[in-house]
Each structure stands twice: as structure tokens, then as C-alpha cells.
């Protein structure tokens, strides 16, 4: 059978007719869901209705991946569904997402992959500004980096969680590849701009190719690209997309110390969501260093409830010298569960300032599980 281009395009036209009708049918159901959510809220307060439901989105992505017979690649189908659900969110409500900008940062990338093209984005100068945009209600959601697989925790984010009332609503993991971009040549580069966490991820490259060069920390990798684009002998370590956005040349690609380099981001908001089949919860508490074994006793509470810990970190409390705030994340438990209520009550007997920072569907990539 010979393949006729015109006939095949007619077939595509006819399928597009059906797809458009189906997509609009889905959009109408989404509008009804939006109305149902508003009705379900006692206050009928549209401002406080959440349209972004991370657990439901996880379910939809899992379902379409499972149902996909091919030849469409699973990633392509998920990208299509990302945009379908983004349009769905925008139909239900005007949504504004704050991220650490300017455009071209990894936070921007993570935000776009999480919320798609149909919502609105507000670039912020610092991580603290992202928190503030959410706290003050200028943005319903904010995206902040939490930890990197090479460089570890992102300290400004941890420190903001200590003071802020925002809640973690979702998590997302982004593979991170760094590029050295410049208008100069590698030999002529005199200074390199980047975010400190990004610089920490490229130590091997910097020590071998740019040893002794001045390293200038910036608020974000995209700000670094912006600065480098205005100077003659400067370079930036940043996302590849910054080459086009800021008109820079690629001098070196994939300069991160490990090729599976990944950053975990949190989606912050004024509330977390209902339980799903697999949630994680991040808690915070302060231990008194004068009580011997206080941290050990704190961790034993989690053991006694058979909770698997997936992250532990500490920061100075900044209230009293030598008092530390501990962050503990546990898997398989939701913040509103009875188990978690008991954990909080038991910790409260000998720890100060016990607080659940957030609870969110477990989105760990398969190979991390
Ligand atoms: O199920 C919902 O609550 C919806 O609003 C619908 C929908 C979707 O389009 O499938 C849209 C946005 C949410 O983040 C999750 C799912």
C-alpha cells in the first residue's frame, strides 16, 4: 500500500477535530471541578481555594503513562498532559507562581515543568523574596531549591522555613547540567559568576580548567548570566537556556562534578493538601544541648513509630547560642495523620518549637526509592 501524504493529512485533520472536542469536554469538567472546590469551602472564599492539587496530578501522570500504548514516548505524553493540566488550572483561577529569577534559572525551569505554560510567573530576586511573595499573598505558590545531590542543603531555604509560616505543598526533582557561558574565550576569562550552590557543584571543572580565577557568588545562576553578558572577560556557570536568553556563547557543557546531578525543589504555599497513597512529611524541632542525648531521644520517637527517615539536617536556631533546629523528613506518612500527631506530641515533651513544615506526595525519582 503506498502512503499518500494528502490522505494522511486528512486523517490528522479528522483526528484533530476529535481531539479538540475532547480537550474542551475535559476543560468543561475542570471548570465544574473548580466550582465544586469553591462550593466545598465553607467560607465560599474564592481567594483561598486551591486549584493546584499535586497528589491528583501525580495520579494523572501515572495513569497516562500506564495507559500509553505507544508509539508516543511516555515523556512526550506527560509533557502534553502537563500543558493540559496547566490550562485546566488557569481556567479555574488566575494563578501566580513566584520563583528565584531572572528568567533562565533552574528554579524557573523547575517551575515551568511543575506548572506549565498557562499560569503566570513572577520572578523574584532572592529565595527570601519567593517566601515573602507567598506569605503576603501576591503569589499563591512559590518554588524554592531545597537540596542538591552534590552540594547538599540550600541554607537560605532552610533558614526561611525556621521563621516563615508557609507550608510545603509539593516536591519536584530536576536533573541539573551546568554550562560555562561567556562572550570571551576560556583562556581570556578573568572572573566567573554563579550561585554558590552551583559553584560547589562544579569544583572539579573549576580546579582543572579555571584554577585561580576569581569566583563571584550571585543570587541566582541566571543573574550570573545576565552579569557576564555585560562584561568582556567574564563567564557564568548556569543553565544552557541562558545562552540564548542573554546572548552568550557556550564554552563548556556539562561541567557538573557528577552527571546525575539533581536538585530537589519545594513548592510552597499557605496550605498543604489532603493525604495521597504515598506522602512525605518534613518536621522541625529544637533540642536543648544541655540535655544529654536530646537529639538521640528525638530521633527515637521516629523509630518508635517505625518511620523511615529520608533527610536530616540542622541549622543554628538564631535565637539562643548553641541551640540547633533539626529538620527531619519521614516517608510514608501524612502531616494530618494520627501517627504524625503522636510524633509531634511526644517530641513536644522534650523539644522546643516542634513544627510540621510541610507534607507532600512522594515524588522521588524511581532510582532513589
Ligand atoms: O482534579 C482536580 O482537582 C483538578 O483541578 C483537575 C486537574 C486536571 O486537569 O486533571 C487540574 C489541576 C489540578 O492540579 C489537578 C487536576
pLDDT tens across 69-78, in order?
999 999 999 9
145 φ, ψ to 5°? -70, 140
The residue whose CB lies within 8 Å of the most ligand 1 atoms, and thus the one to mutate among 25, 28, 33, 276, is: 33
In the prediction, which pLDDT does 165 show?
A: 97
Q: State yes or no: pLDDT of 288 exceeds 50.
A: yes
d(CA 131, CA 215): 27
Please state the rounded mean pLDDT for residues 222-247: 98
Alpha carbon nearest to ligand 1 atom 1, residue: 56
Q: What is the rounded distance in angstroms from the CA atom of residue 46 to the CA atom of residue 140?
A: 12
Cell triple for 8: 494522511
In this prediction, residue 307 carries a pLDDT of 98
Note the pTM of the prediction, 2 decimals. Answer: 0.95
Q: Which three cell numbers mark 237?
A: 556557570
In this model, does residue 45 exceed pLDDT 60?
A: no
- Taking residue 232's Cβ as centre, other Cβ atoms within 10 Å add up to 11
Question: Is the CB–ligand 1 distance for residue 301 below 6 Å?
Answer: no
Most ligand 1 atoms within 8 A of CB, residue of 27, 56, 62, 115 to mutate: 56
Provide mean pLDDT across the span 148-155. 95
Ligand 1 geometric centre to CA of 78 (Å)? 14
Using a 6 Å cutoff on CB, does residue 56 contact ligand 1? yes
CA distances from 64 to 23, 57, 67, 259, 306 (A): 15, 11, 5, 29, 33
pLDDT at 369: 39
Ligand 1 geometric centre to CA of 133 (Å): 24
The verdict on ipTM greater than 0.90 is yes
pLDDT tens column, 90-129: 999 999 999 999 999 999 999 999 999 999 999 999 999 9
197: its cell numbers: 550552590
Top-confidence residue, 130 or 296: 130
Whole-number pLDDT of residue 319: 82
Percent of the chain with pLDDT over 90: 89
* pLDDT tens digits, one per residue of 317-369: 888 787 889 999 999 999 999 999 999 999 999 898 999 999 999 999 875 43
Q: Indicate the pairing of strand 234-238 with strand 191-194.
A: parallel
d(CA 147, CA 114): 17
Amino acid at each position: 500500500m503506498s502512503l499518500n501524504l494528502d490522505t494522511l493529512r486528512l486523517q490528522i485533520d479528522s483526528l484533530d477535530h476529535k481531539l479538540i472536542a475532547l480537550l474542551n469536554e475535559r476543560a468543561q469538567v475542570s471548570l465544574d471541578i473548580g466550582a465544586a472546590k469553591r462550593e466545598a469551602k465553607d467560607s465560599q472564599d474564592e481567594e483561598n481555594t486551591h486549584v493546584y492539587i499535586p497528589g491528583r496530578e501525580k495520579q494523572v501522570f501515572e495513569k497516562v503513562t500506564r495507559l500509553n500504548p505507544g508509539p508516543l514516548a511516555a515523556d512526550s505524553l506527560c509533557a502534553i498532559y502537563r500543558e493540559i493540566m496547566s490550562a485546566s488550572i488557569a481556567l479555574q483561577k488566575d494563578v501566580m507562581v513566584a520563583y528565584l529569577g531572572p528568567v533562565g534559572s533552574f528554579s524557573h525551569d523547575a517551575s515551568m515543568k511543575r506548572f506549565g505554560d498557562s499560569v503566570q510567573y513572577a520572578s523574584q530576586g532572592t529565595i527570601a523574596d519567593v517566601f515573602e511573595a507567598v506569605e503576603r499573598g501576591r503569589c499563591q505558590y512559590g518554588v524554592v531549591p531545597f537540596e542538591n545531590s552534590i552540594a547538599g542543603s540550600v541554607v537560605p531555604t532552610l533558614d526561611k522555613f525556621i521563621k516563615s509560616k508557609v507550608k510545603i505543598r509539593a516536591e519536584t526533582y530536576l536533573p541539573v547540567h551546568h554550562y560555562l557561558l561567556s562572550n570571551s574565550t576560556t583562556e581570556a576569562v578573568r572572573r566567573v559568576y554563579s550561585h554558590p550552590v552551583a559553584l560547589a557543584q562544579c569544583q572539579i571543572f573549576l580546579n582543572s580548567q579555571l584554577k585561580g580565577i576569581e569566583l563571584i557568588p550571585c543570587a541566582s545562576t541566571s543573574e550570573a548570566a545576565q552579569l557576564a553578558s555585560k562584561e568582556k572577560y567574564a563567564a557564568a556557570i548556569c543553565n544552557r537556556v541562558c545562552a540564548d536568553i542573554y546572548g552568550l556563547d557556550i564554552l563548556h557543557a556539562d561541567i557538573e562534578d557528577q552527571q546525575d546531578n539533581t536538585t530537589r525543589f519545594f513548592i510552597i504555599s499557605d496550605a498543604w493538601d489532603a493525604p495521597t497513597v504515598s506522602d512525605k512529611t518534613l518536621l522541625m524541632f529544637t533540642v536543648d544541648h544541655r540535655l544529654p542525648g536530646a537529639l538521640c531521644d528525638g530521633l527515637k520517637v521516629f523509630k518508635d513509630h517505625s518511620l523511615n527517615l529520608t533527610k536530616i539536617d540542622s541549622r543554628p536556631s538564631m535565637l539562643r547560642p548553641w541551640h540547633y533546629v533539626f529538620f527531619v523528613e519521614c516517608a510514608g506518612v501524612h502531616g494530618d495523620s494520627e501517627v504524625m500527631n503522636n510524633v509531634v506530641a511526644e517530641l513536644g515533651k522534650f523539644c522546643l518549637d516542634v513544627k510540621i513544615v510541610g507534607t507532600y506526595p512522594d515524588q522521588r525519582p524511581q532510582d532513589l526509592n
